[in-house]
Amino acid sequence: MRVGDATLVAARQQAARSDFLLDEPMRIRRCALLRLESREETRFDLSALLSGDTGVLSHMRWLAHAPALQAEVEVDAAEVALLGETSPSDWVSAAPLRMRHGAARVRRLLRAGLLVGSTAAWAHWRREDERVRALHWHGAAADYHHASRWSGIDAAGEVEDAGLHNAEGLRRAYGVPPPMLHERADGGAITVLPSAPRAAYDELLDARTSCRNFDVGRMLPLTGLAQVLKRTFAERGRVRGADDFDVLKRTSPSGGALHPTECYLLARRVDGLAPGLYHYLPARHALQSLPMDDARILADAGRHPAARGKTALDYLAWIAVGGQQYFAEAHALCVLAPRFYRNFWKYRRHPKAYRVCILDVGHLSQTLLLSATEAGLGSFVTAAINEVDIERAFGLEPWSESPLAVCGIGPRADRMETYELDPNRRAWPR
């Protein structure tokens, strides 16, 4: 954020607070974070086909998305114009807005929570909006966060139905991919680099292979799981940055040294650990069990024939990893979920902050994968996850704390039934 912006924001916050003291006249501003989506919807129309057209009719709709809303809200072009010209920062008098756009239109957007009113009647949406503002999301990052979250998607099933689940299918559908290697046409002389002798660390790096074949007949020893969690997520030290500002040291780097990422665990076949949901506590190197609402987890399961007969925990594992059964079979799934508000406390409405959270998760996942490999365990990371289902099951508020990736850990099977990329046979044969 630029320095001038901070002063401006503080002044506006001050102005906003004093406005709440006034009940009249009514003032209005736009909700803090708003995404207006121009969505194309297509349908097949036989009469259009018979009259020589393609038969596919498309229809455009405006949809408004905002963090405080339970669902998207359809708006018309006039409402888009009203939202577009209303400041999300400055409170303006309601009267001219009503005159220009009509009282009914202004009221509808107030009721939807897209406009925020200063009077007592609109206290609910104002509180919701204040809660969102206090999280300090950057607008474009919030749009992306919202747009990239899935709910109840069987991605594996969809990819298979489309014939895109293997290299041949991809090649058929998309043609030749961009080349595997890249050399610059404008490059100069090439200096071949020396190779250091192979060390144990090379063996470890080469043995890491994304595991899609877990042995569901064996248990994961608690010591193995504990070691991986300790090496990846535990506190390795701490520094007091300032009063009430402690900084965690972990084995992975973290933007701003804030380490916002939490590890939530779905355990099923771990020796000495009851199947269930847990939260890893980095300072105590401990797991805290979390409540589980089976009915809530299974609420949408009926949509998926592949989920029939699964227990709540099995269904959650399956839907968490986007319907990828070979990943769902991992003995323990680790949900990597940043507490965005910890990072955004420092990087307020910062265009890089969300990227930093994503990169943090990438670092942690690689540490987890290497730690699991070192422990002789299979592991994977995936971003093809149903964030909404995971949030619901673990009780996470999506704008405060939300999963960006899921890792799995467990003993490898003796036979490879699902493909793994292991050309030098470091993980296979076993």
Ligand X SMILES: Cc1cc2nc3c(=O)[nH]c(=O)nc-3n(C[C@H](O)[C@H](O)[C@H](O)COP(=O)(O)O)c2cc1C
Binding site for ligand X (CB under 6 A): 209-210, 212, 324, 381-384, 420-421
CA quadruple 123, 125, 126, 130: dihedral positive or negative? positive
Considering the complex, what minimum distance in angstroms separates the CB of residue 370 from ligand X? 11
Considering the complex, what minimum distance in angstroms separates the CB of residue 167 from ligand X? 10
**What SS3 state is found at 260?**
coil
Alpha helices, DSSP H, located in 3-45: 3-21
**Quick one: three-class SS letters along 197-213?**
CCCHHHHHHHHCCECCC
Question: Toward ligand X, which CB reaches closer, 130 or 420?
Answer: 420
List Cβ neighbours of 396 (8 Å cut-off, separation of 6 or more): 264, 337, 390, 402, 403
**What SS3 state is found at 286?**
strand
| Residue 67: exposure state from Cβ atoms within 10 A (0-12, 13-18, ≥19) | buried
Considering the complex, what minimum distance in angstroms separates the CB of residue 214 from ligand X? 13
DSSP letters, 97-122, are HHHHH-HHHHHHHHHHTSEEESSGGG
Phi, psi of 223 (to 5 degrees): -65, -40
Q: Are strands 92-93 and 276-281 parallel, antiparallel or unpaired?
A: unpaired
Question: Toward ligand X, which CB reaches closer, 32 or 405?
Answer: 405
DSSP letters, 221-241, are PHHHHHHHHHHHHS--EEEEE
Question: Toward ligand X, which CB reaches closer, 119 or 209?
Answer: 209
Question: Toward ligand X, which CB reaches closer, 86 or 209?
Answer: 209
Considering the complex, what minimum distance in angstroms separates the CB of residue 130 from ligand X? 35
Considering the complex, what minimum distance in angstroms separates the CB of residue 384 from ligand X? 3
**429: preceding bond cis by omega (within 30 degrees):** yes
Considering the complex, what minimum distance in angstroms separates the CB of residue 279 from ligand X? 23
Question: Toward ligand X, which CB reaches closer, 273 or 368?
Answer: 368
Considering the complex, what minimum distance in angstroms separates the CB of residue 220 from ligand X? 20
Considering the complex, what minimum distance in angstroms separates the CB of residue 4 from ligand X? 37
State in Å, rounded, how far the first CA of the chain is from the last one. Answer: 53
Return the H-helix or E-strand segment holding 249: strand 245-249
Question: Toward ligand X, which CB reaches closer, 132 or 369?
Answer: 369
Nearest 5°: CA angle at 327, between 272 and 144? 115
Question: Toward ligand X, which CB reaches closer, 48 or 358?
Answer: 358
Considering the complex, what minimum distance in angstroms separates the CB of residue 201 from ligand X? 17
Q: Report the DSSP beta bridge partners of residue 103.
A: none
Question: Toward ligand X, which CB reaches closer, 68 or 337?
Answer: 337
Measured CA to CA, the distance from residue 412 to residue 330 in angstroms comes to 9
Question: Toward ligand X, which CB reaches closer, 138 or 208?
Answer: 208
Around Cβ 260, how many Cβ atoms within 10 Å?
24
Question: Toward ligand X, which CB reaches closer, 212 or 259?
Answer: 212
**Half-sphere exposure (CA, 13 Å, Cβ side) for 62?**
13
Measured CA to CA, the distance from residue 402 to residue 396 in angstroms comes to 6
Question: Toward ligand X, which CB reaches closer, 210 or 227?
Answer: 210
Phi, psi of 127 (to 5 degrees): -65, -45
Considering the complex, what minimum distance in angstroms separates the CB of residue 181 from ligand X? 16
Considering the complex, what minimum distance in angstroms separates the CB of residue 63 from ligand X? 27
